Amino acid sequence: MKLTVDIPRVTDDDRVIEAALKDAHIPSLMAALVHITGDAGIVRGEIRPASGFFIDAQGGITEAQQARVRALALEALKAYRDGKKLGAVPNAALVHEMVEFIAGREMRGDYSEFLEAELALAGEDAYAQPGLKALPAQDRAKFNVVIVGAGMSGLLAGIRLKEAGIPFTIVERHGDVGGTWHQNTYPGCRVDSPNHMYSYSFKPKDWPQHYSPQAVLKQYFADVADEFGLRGSIRFNTDVREMAWDDDRGVWSVVVEPRGGKRETLEANAVISAVGQLNRPKWPDLPGQDTFKGIAFHSTQWEHQHDLKGKRVLVIGTGASAFQFVPEVAKVAKEVVVFQRTAPWMCPVPEYHDDIPAGKHWLLNNVPYYAKWYRFAVFWRNAEGILDAAEADPSWNQTDVAISAQNDQVRQMFYEHIKSIVGDDPELLAKCTPNYPVAGKRILFDNGNWLRALKRDNVRVVTDPIKGIDATGIVTKSGERYDGDVLIYGTGFTASKFLWPMRVVGRGGRELEKHWNGDPRAYKGIAIPHFPNLFCMYGPNTNIVVNGSIIFFSECEMRYILSCIEQLIRGKHKAMDVKRDVHDRYNDVIDAGNARMAWGISKAPTWYRNEKGHVTQNWPFSLIRFWMETKTADPRDFAFTD
Ligand code: NAP
């Protein structure tokens, strides 16, 4: 796939340009102006963005400086519209300078390689493996892959394999593509990574909002499936029941079952599991749970046929899903009682529900290179996020609520946000203030919507633990009773049961579920010893907490998987099996990394740890580290069989 750099023309009049520039992200505009004018001095002057979590989105550039940049941009865009040619294409040294300009800091070595590749300014594809495509077409055509799942990762796998000329079949349980964005339809559902970053590197979109609603995300993935012609390769409404490795033939036998149809077996040289982590509902195990006579459903299986208008609604859970649907339900229900076990930390994000302003759309669509630099700026701002602040400082006097000076600083900032909205209600403020360090569990994004919903007259927050459920409602430990017409479980997912409930049988009849024994591990989250030619996407320890986008991770994983497939085909190998000691050493490093992070230290309940208390979900390091580690597969890490 050759990425294209669209170079738009400006055709609008001065008034339109001037109005649009009011919405400009100034650092991105300045970088774009270097392309438009050819004047590198624009990024070498005194107007420079600073970088950091606490700096505003304009990088601390003052209003007066912003006005100067807008005036310069107006003249440059008018001249471009009136026929002036773009400046010379910036050379590598200047691009590097511009990267440092946007990042607000010096960049060296791996970091600049990574960021300049992400930027893909000249249209290079940072995640393709050109070596695979260079292999003889007939060898590639003989290889065959089954991909499990047509969500974000599975579609990506299909796109990359198609590009590489490798036959594949995607097996998808649901009737459409989109994975989590197809499945979760609860009111208020939206992405909570910035959309200009939460998109494939090769498929930018002019998003309607900074954090777009579920329907927009679902459409994005549907459009991708159509554009890359994937639908014909997807078997919809079909479950993978089991898969078994045949060592003699070097194939996986994959047993699939179409809904209402007969089981059949597909054969593949390799299997890519792209099943996601967050799709199988986790139901609590509360006494009397099945005796409730009203309407009850899980957030991920929202029963839209029930009109909640005027209803008494009970909600269990205050995680990312409840956080989004409770404010919507509260607008129509007669009353909402929210049962909270652990208060979430929330990061103030004022633009969380905002439309992208018209001027910003104009800039993204009309100003040469602006969209590229804007994605890059958003990516950088979120690249390492508050990762440093999530790591413990052993020399700092740690408390129950903070693990480093920086962690404490972020805690105070988040606390001020909570106080600014519910500070006038000391009881609610106490309930809404978490008692564990920031990043001890998932941080939520908030523009005040959640806290304002909790303040409504028709909403109550109950922190008294649930004792049980009966025919009419919930009873708490203190004996208080809360009756309701509808009970909504916002209780999350069985995230740590990777690949479950598929039965996966590897070498020598080894079953994956037994092999993992409740503690899933993989090499780079992708390869599992004794399960040759099985590659996971969004596998163990590839979830990110406070930085980046999971699409970025999937792109890295797929690049690595392509490298594995390349080695299998090039060497005419039947199988590659990651070496146990390599896998174990890798996981020791991951464990040590997670043990230093807030989610590894905090005792707050979280899906980041499995039932054994082990962090099997999260990647504890920087994005750059994962990017470097997944550039290519090192053949020394694997045992090959022919
Ligand atoms: P979750 O974060 O696991 O939250 C589950 C909630 O249910 C928690 O508040 C939990 O309390 C509570 N709970 C579970 N069992 C309970 C019990 N027996 N009694 C009382 N309370 C109980 O699940 P989620 O909200 O569905 O989110 C899961 C993940 O999906 C998120 O972390 C995120 O990664 C992803 N997600 C993303 C988005 C987005 O991008 N917009 C939206 C939704 C979800 P404790 O906190 O005490 O465990």
In this prediction, residue 4 carries a pLDDT of 57
Mean pLDDT of all residues in 166-175:
98
Q: Which ligand 1 atom is at minimum distance from the Cα of 316? A: 21
> In this structure, what is the dihedral angle of CA atoms 280, 533, 558, 194, given to the nearest 10 degrees?
20
Q: Write down the pTM of the prediction.
A: 0.96
- Ligand 1 centre from 56 Cα, in Å? 29
- Ligand 1 centre from 322 Cα, in Å? 7
- Ligand 1 centre from 149 Cα, in Å? 23
Above 90 in pLDDT, residue 581?
yes
Sheet of 503-505: strands edge to edge? Answer: 264-268, 251-258, 238-246, 503-505
Above 90 in pLDDT, residue 545?
no
Which pLDDT band holds residue 3 (cuts at 50, 70, 90)?
Answer: low
Mean pLDDT over each residue of the chain, to the nearest integer: 95
Report which of 318, 300, 320 is spatially closest to residue 191, judged by C-alpha positions: 320
Q: Which ligand 1 atom is at minimum distance from the Cα of 318? A: 9
Q: Of 384 and 223, which is predicted with more confidence?
A: 223
8 A C-beta contact, residue 492 and residue 369: no
85-99, 297-311, 569-583: segment of lowest average pLDDT: 85-99
Question: Ligand 1 pocket test: which of 214, 607, 610, 611 has the largest number of ligand atoms within 8 Å of its C-beta?
Answer: 607
- Ligand 1 centre from 580 Cα, in Å? 34
Given CATH 3.50.50.60, say whether it is the number of domain 289-345+394-489. yes
pLDDT digits (tens, 9 = 90+) for 479-509: 999 999 999 999 999 998 999 999 999 999 9
CATH of 130-279+495-641 among 3.90.1640.10, 2.60.40.1120, 3.20.20.70, 3.50.50.60:
3.50.50.60
Question: Ligand 1 pocket test: which of 321, 340, 469 has the largest number of ligand atoms within 8 Å of its C-beta?
Answer: 321
Cα–Cα distance, 433 to 262 (Å, whole number) = 53
Token representation of residue 466: 């649930």
Report which of 277, 320, 271, 302 is spatially closest to residue 179, judged by C-alpha positions: 277
Residues with Cβ within 8 Å of residue 515, at least 6 apart in sequence: 506, 528, 530, 531
Its sign, for the CA torsion 330, 335, 340, 343, is: positive
- Any idea where the domains of the chain sit in the sequence? 14-125+358-383, 130-279+495-641, 289-345+394-489
Percentage of residues of the chain with pLDDT beyond 70: 99
Question: Ligand 1 pocket test: which of 182, 316, 432, 497 has the largest number of ligand atoms within 8 Å of its C-beta?
Answer: 316
Which pLDDT band holds residue 5 (cuts at 50, 70, 90)?
Answer: low
Question: Ligand 1 pocket test: which of 182, 197, 278, 315 has the largest number of ligand atoms within 8 Å of its C-beta?
Answer: 278
Above 70 in pLDDT, residue 95?
yes
Residues with Cβ within 8 Å of residue 310, at least 6 apart in sequence: 332, 333, 334
- Please indicate whether the domains covering 130-279+495-641 and 289-345+394-489 agree at the CATH topology level: yes
- Ligand 1 centre from 607 Cα, in Å? 8
Above 90 in pLDDT, residue 170?
yes
In this prediction, residue 89 carries a pLDDT of 87
- Ligand 1 centre from 389 Cα, in Å? 22
- Ligand 1 centre from 622 Cα, in Å? 24
Mean pLDDT of all residues in 391-419:
96
Above 90 in pLDDT, residue 611?
no
Above 90 in pLDDT, residue 122?
no
Above 90 in pLDDT, residue 258?
yes
Q: Which ligand 1 atom is at minimum distance from the Cα of 341? A: 47
pLDDT digits (tens, 9 = 90+) for 31-62: 999 999 999 999 999 999 997 777 888 999 99
Q: Which ligand 1 atom is at minimum distance from the Cα of 543? A: 34
Token representation of residue 212: 């777009």
Ligand 1 residue neighbourhood (C-beta within 6 Å): 190-192, 278, 284, 286, 299, 316-322, 324, 339, 341-342, 442, 466, 490-493, 605, 607
Q: How far is CA 58 from CA 29, 36, 326, 448, in A?
A: 11, 21, 32, 22
- Ligand 1 centre from 316 Cα, in Å? 9
In this prediction, residue 460 carries a pLDDT of 98
Cα–Cα distance, 158 to 150 (Å, whole number) = 9
Cα–Cα distance, 55 to 37 (Å, whole number) = 28
